[in-house]
A and B are shown apart, each in its own frame.
Chain A
Amino acid sequence: MKSGALALLIVFALRPSAAAAQAQSVAVNRAFDFEQAGRMREAIGAWRQVIASGQAAQGMLGLERIFAALAQDDSVLPPLDSLLTQTPTDKVLRGVQLRVLRSLGREQDAHKAFDEWVKLVPHDAAPYREYAGELLADGRASAADTILQQASAQLGSTKALTIEIAQLRAALGLWAAAAAAWRDAMLAEEYLEQTVVYSLQAAPIAQRDSVRAVLRASTTASSKRVLGSLELQWGAARDGWRAIATLTAADSAFNTWNDFAQDAERQGAWLAARDAYAAMNKMRPSAATALRAAQMSISGGEPASALDLIASARAELQPVAIRTTVLPLQIRALTQLGRAAEAEALVAHDSASLDAGTKRAYARMIAWGWIRSGQVEKARAAIAGGSGDDEDEVTAWIALYDGDLAKARGGLRRPTEATAEVLTAMALLSRTKADSSRSAGAAFLALARADSAQAVVRFERAADELPDAAPLLLALAARVQSARHQDGPAIALWQRILTQYANAPEAAESDLEWARTLRRKGDMNGAVDHLEHLILTYPQSALVPQARRELEAARTGNAQ
């Protein structure tokens, strides 16, 4: 009996407050409904009822929204003043007061209200946080700085204001300090990550390295995730991936990687997306994730790693799925690698189950594969019977190899993939006005066949044939020589560019590459000479900041 009586007593004790809560909830919902429907007059009445029901803060926020929408902010003040008389330290109400006074342009009154609030709660960071936040939102960093300094003096510490301090430093352009403050703030509040990314992504290019250094110095998962997102925003997705790659399962790595992969994919950062999907596949193997990673790998121009991923997915899939999802990727990867014969064999194996349209599409890919390996005749054979359209990319590459620059120019105007080869070809085609060059075509063909020695000879010969693109062609020849570790011939080419084409865009690049080669060989003085020459001769070159960094390293003998 006793326990039953006790239970009854509790029910009765709870009943009135539950009823009140329900009534309050109904009143709030009703006010929101009016507000949503744009029935402002009724909404004002409804929010006043919410205030009357005891929810002063929520009601006042409602009135603030509505009167702001009606451009009648001053109407907020009478009810607000009377509420503040009853609860003068209510943070929400004080916040509304500061916002309204400032939106009315009554700065002095706002400051007075702030001072009054501080006087009431001298050990509370809330007034400073609210007011400094308002000023920062208005871009008044110096005024916010004053308030935060006042907070530091009054409270003896700014620990409770780390977020505002971080925002302030970002607003003042003190990016490294802002990053450090955000890093510290995230130690206590992980949810800030998106805010931090938003704040720091505005760092100018010259300041980004200092932001990176601060975040890299921290080992927390939050700092890594923030750096990953920032790098993605700043167009350095691979660095972004490196920042988050070391996350562990305990740091929700899988979800972080998934979000990163999708963002990277949306931005066309294929290889970063590939790395993330591949890591996900390693953590929780799945055919869908592996194929996604393979897709990214192919799009990013690394088809070899795609083949490995495809092989790992294949074992889990049914034949139909293999034909519809795996085969297209496999063909694409193989043809990108120039392994057209293997692609042809795969298509032939499944030929009976492929429709005519699919076969035609594969034939084009295989033609690409032949082109990549420099087998022009086989490429022609693969697309025999196709459109033969001048705008077709495959046809354009064949034309380029034939030395028909005019036809190649038409087909490569809008390439489907911006690979290094495509960009190099486009650079040449846009640089020269000539319509044909046998040597240039032969050079690209030699490159496709991986015959680098022949490519160098042809590029140099093409430089004589196409004077308007000579420095570019010589720089291409030098790049190939450098890649072959033929430093002497590469240097001779850079010297020729610097002597004969000192005003060409390739001249600064030649100095930088020459310096790098000398540094590799231990000739620091020579490297310094070339870096200095670059900086002094081409002060407007985009390579100057990099040259300064390398000059510093060459002078101090630091490795880079």
Chain B
Amino acid sequence: MKSVSFLIRAAALLAALSSAPPLAAQHLLVPMDDSQQNHLKAYGLTFFALKAGDKAEWFLNYRGGSFLLPDDPALRRKAALDGVTVLPIDDGAVAAARKEIAAGNMDAITLEKAPHIAIYAPAKSPPWDDAVTLALKYAGIEYTQIWDDEILKTDISKFDWIHLHHEDFTGQENKLHLGFRDAPWFIEQRDNDLAAAQRNGFSNIPALKKAVAGRLHDFVDKGGFLFAMCGATETLELAMAALNVDIAGPFFDGTPMDPDADSKMDWTRAFAFQNAHLEMSPGVNAMSDIDGHQVNVPTRRQPLGQFTLFNFSAKFDPVASMLVQNHRQVIPDFYGVTTSFNKAVLKPGDVVLATEDGAPWVKYLHGDYGKGSWTYLGGHDPEDPQHNIGALPTDLSLHPNSPGYRLILNNVLFPAAKKKPLKT
């Protein structure tokens, strides 16, 4: 059967070459507007090119944020297999595109190397999905899965990019004990975290997670890129700002929250927020007033609307522009443990990437801290607005053009960009 397999591979390669459009092309343009059949796998294709040592260009605001790749049989083959639309173009067409880019609010950013990515996720998956893991797996982008031991005991500066999703860095397991304390998965998760705490010399989970948050803080401070979604955004900020304050309820560390915790928070250690107020009641499933939607507090829950991506100047704000490349400007909102970020608690230097018009919150934030930078996207799963515990993971093959998932993948490629001084 081996020889048959070889023949099939050889035949497929020949077929890919023979069915390829004009051989005269020197480049492959990956359009990212509505003509693209599979936006999400297009990021995977670009990553594949970078991984193979090729250089790529990201044409910001040009045809939905398209990519320019070298014309290469392996790339054509992968594009055909993944259903990614590519347009073979010659130098003349590229020159014309560059002229158009130079004349408008567009820019060409060189992507140099495949970023080294880590996802902070427990070894055993909890009963909810992680949008970034889903996106990377679907797009075919390689990553390393890390958890508390790796963060605390290994050199995480080797990663360009660390992603956090649903985890609770206050160590309160997202306060899910309020509804799931007897659920086997909850007990297992709590026991695993407790074991990790003891393994690393901490007496309880809040202390462990605070130490992990501290390491992540240092990772960004020293030049790393951090992307967080859902509850990780809010709780990471709280954990970093609460370096010397007990902000965990008695269920998790045996002691009540410090009654003066609010006034003892050191917001200078936080990346994005300041002057937020902690939720002092252990029986209320919220952490603070950072989240605008408060989905798990029925009396405070706000309905979902839709958020609008800002259109930045590609030439003056390339980083912000990269993060908002999309074929849709208006995207339906989606809930998460933390869905949005109240404007009242933003730091002045935060760059708001997406907001809901007229609402007191924003959806998508970016900023620099120390030598690195961070990006926060509220919500859990862009294609499952009301994602519930135990719901089936989203099947991204049903959403190959998801504008929400594109935002996640923009963050994956952003660290691949050749450094360019920001003018604003």
Contacts and interface: CB of A to CB of B under 8 A. Distances in A.
B15 A213 contact: no
A526 B303 contact: no
Contact of A158 (B305, B384, B392, B395): B305
Interface string A165-191: 100010000101100110000000000
Interface stretch (A14-22, A436-444, A532-540): A532-540
Interface in A130-182: 145, 149-150, 152-154, 156-159, 165, 169, 174, 176-177, 180-181
Contacts, number: 93
Contacts of B332: 169, 174, 177, 180-181
A529 B9 contact: yes
Given A157-B302, A159-B303, A210-B399, A556 B12 contact: no
B359 A153 contact: yes
B358 A551 contact: no
Given A152-B359, A153-B359, A210 B398 contact: yes
Contacts of A483: none
B391 interface: yes
B19 to A, nearest CB: 6
Contacts of A530: 8
A49 interface: no
Interface residues of A, number: 40
A140 to B, nearest CB: 15
A454 interface: no
A217 interface: yes
A536 B358 contact: no
Contacts of A159: 303
A75 interface: no
A552 interface: yes
B399 A536 contact: no
B331 to A, nearest CB: 9
B391 A532 contact: no
In terms of DSSP, what is the predominant structure of the interface of chain A? helix
Interface stretch (B75-83, B103-111, B163-171, B183-191): B75-83
A308 B235 CA distance: 62
A539 B5 contact: no
Nearest to A540: B19
Contacts of A529: 5, 8-9, 12
A433 interface: no
A537 B137 contact: no
A213 B8 contact: no
B80 A539 contact: yes
Contact of B357 (A152, A210, A548): A152
A157 B303 contact: yes
B297 interface: no
Interface in A77-110: none
Nearest to B387: A217
A483 B64 CA distance: 48
A144 B13 CA distance: 49
Contacts of A533: 8, 11-12, 15
Nearest to A173: B34
B356 interface: yes
B144 interface: no
A325 interface: no
Contact of B81 (A213, A495, A532): A532
Interface in A490-544: 495, 523, 525-526, 529-530, 532-533, 535-537, 539, 544
A153 B19 contact: no
A150 B357 CA distance: 7
B258 to A, nearest CB: 34
Given A213-B395, A556-B137, A532 B305 contact: no
Contacts of A152: 305-306, 356-359
Contact of A536 (B1, B80, B391): B80
A203 to B, nearest CB: 12
Contacts of B15: 533, 536-537
B81 A551 contact: yes
A549 interface: yes
A153 B80 contact: no
Given A153-B357, A529-B12, A537-B15, A145 B305 contact: no
B383 interface: yes
A77 to B, nearest CB: 32
B358 A154 contact: yes
A251 interface: no
Contacts of B356: 152
B8 A149 contact: no
B328 to A, nearest CB: 8
A209 interface: yes
Contacts of B359: 152-153, 156
Nearest to A149: B357
B385 interface: yes
Given A169-B332, A213-B395, A548-B82, A536 B12 contact: yes
B83 A149 contact: no
B388 to A, nearest CB: 9
B16 interface: yes
Contacts of A153: 357-359
A373 B366 CA distance: 73
B383 A176 contact: yes
Contacts of A495: 4
Given A157-B305, A158-B305, A210-B399, A532 B5 contact: no
B308 interface: yes
A256 B180 CA distance: 37
Contacts of A149: 305-306, 308, 330, 357-358
Nearest to A499: B7
Contacts of A157: 302-303, 305
Contacts of A165: 306
Contacts of B397: 548-549, 552
Contacts of A145: 330
Given A526-B5, A536-B16, 14 more contacts: A156-B359, A158-B303, A165-B306, A177-B385, A209-B395, A210-B383, A213-B398, A529-B8, A535-B81, A537-B11, A545-B83, A548-B81, A548-B83, A548-B397
Closest 6 CB pairs of A and B: A153-B358, A537-B15, A177-B332, A210-B398, A533-B12, A529-B8
19 contacts: A149-B358, A156-B359, A157-B303, A165-B306, A174-B328, A177-B385, A209-B398, A210-B383, A213-B398, A217-B392, A525-B5, A526-B1, A532-B81, A533-B11, A535-B81, A536-B80, A536-B81, A539-B19, A548-B81
